[in-house]
Chains A and B, each alone.
Chain A
């Protein structure tokens, strides 16, 4: 796999932007602590996510990947720079509900059943009851939890809770999905299963995805492109095209494919530098 230098600044005209899922230009986020201490969580971020593209953000702790995701979601504001989602400002995109989001802790409301959790965004945005019911039934089937629609979150395993969270994020059929380490709290076996599920869902919906992860194999398995970040200050250091085929074509046996291992090696080298692929691993990134 070839590693590319970060892409050149995209065409700044709004017309071209509107087709891109995410365009981040010169984004910077500085946190101010007590007594003037500052933490530069992100600096000089230039990133474009194309419509329908799966992009992973990977890097050690403190590299700002979760912060960048929150900026795209307008859960936080950049101290400098500009973020456009489908040609609109991040804030407008949030108001227009242009994306769906899944957090690392599933964040299900414990007093609502699975079905009620999934229908939450639909309820908030004024969708009628019968339309909600129909959509919830679709989604519950999509994530394979049709038998558990009336269960409550405390009756579900971690993996099942995450599936509900993903179903919820798809409720309004967004063209962009933002996911912050959604499989981070799961064991390896469940994790691999969920990754395959996510690919299938993506093949069916065709949404663009920005996916934050700690895990190199996960990033390579799922993505069209892996964006490598590093900390202090948080910045993008590399972008790697992962040419392993369309989402619909990737299957379980991809994990044993030579091309897959080459992709993993390429990302690992980008993370640690070439010598580290044979020597020990750096901190903070899963190299299994």
Chain B
């Protein structure tokens, strides 16, 4: 059995577990406040600090634009930011869906056919550590530099890798006692798959999907640096930076950050809904 690498499987987004003992004042509201207030406070402090430093020390905008200027630009160019976000977001979404579907299908095939497993896993593990975006320029040549297809392909590959690796791991991790149980029921392979294998694999699939959603957004955006149509966020950022409109460039960066957060929130929500009883 080929070992599965941890690189794409590790839940790099999972925060460490809390270890302190419960104190006397630990009510849910107090805990929520304790969780949400410090990061928000830090954010506000940082924004104020940056504003102060940039204005007071007269730091040129090409190093760091002042938050107030960024906000101005964000408000002024809101329609363009939204438009660019939608373009990049759509590429990422299509790529995520394609990559996830192919990832699941191939994982299922690989769990049944050892030969496919042996051939695919080393390749996918290698793809997980190499810069897939290096394919972008050549894909633009193959698929035309006026369409989004090349970017979608890159986003699909980026999404495929974690979904495939995690789902395959999940399909292989049925507990022995459950296997014995199914055997004792003389269950057919299809019955065993429906009753035990798929439910066991589902949480792993969702972990992979969560990782894949971030990677799809990042890849869709990075692919824009290598050429192709100029309507997405990446192109907008480079254009703005090239014409020295740094605050505007930062406004688009904020659009990119929001896009990433939306994808993350949506996939986490789906994961939460599907894992209500585990």
Contacts and interface: CB of A to CB of B under 8 A. Distances in A.
Direct A–B contact in the complex, CB atoms closer than 8 angstroms: yes
Interface of A: 70, 73-75, 94-95, 97, 99, 101, 103, 105, 107, 109-111, 113, 120-121, 123-125, 152, 154
A154 B184 CA distance: 24
A75 B180 contact: yes
Nearest to A94: B186
A124 to B, nearest CB: 5
Contacts of B181: 101, 103, 107
A103 B178 CA distance: 10
Contact of A95 (B178, B186, B191): B186
B199 A107 contact: no
Nearest to B182: A124
Contacts of A101: 180-181, 184
A103 B184 CA distance: 11
Contact of A109 (B183, B185, B186, B199): B199
Given A120-B195, A124-B195, A154-B278, A107 B178 contact: yes
A109 B178 contact: yes
Interface in B106-134: none
A38 to B, nearest CB: 22
A118 to B, nearest CB: 13
Nearest to B187: A124
A109 B177 contact: no
Interface in B175-212: 175, 177-178, 180-181, 183-187, 191, 195-196, 199
A135 B116 CA distance: 44
B184 A94 contact: yes
Given A109-B199, A120-B195, A152-B277, A103 B186 contact: no
A73 B184 contact: yes
B195 A75 contact: no
Interface string B254-278: 0000000000000000000000011
Measured as residues with beta carbon below 8 angstroms from the partner, the interface class of chain B is: 10 to 19
9 contacts: A94-B186, A103-B181, A107-B180, A110-B277, A121-B185, A124-B187, A125-B185, A154-B277, A154-B278
Contacts of A73: 184
B187 A75 contact: no
Given A75-B184, A94-B186, A97-B185, A109 B277 contact: no
Contacts of A124: 185, 187, 191, 195
Contacts of A113: 277
Contact of B196 (A74, A103, A105, A109): A109
B177 A103 contact: yes
Contacts of A110: 277-278
Nearest to B188: A124
A105 B177 contact: yes
A243 to B, nearest CB: 32
Contacts of B180: 70, 75, 101, 103, 107
A70 to B, nearest CB: 8
Nearest to A91: B186
A93 B117 CA distance: 35
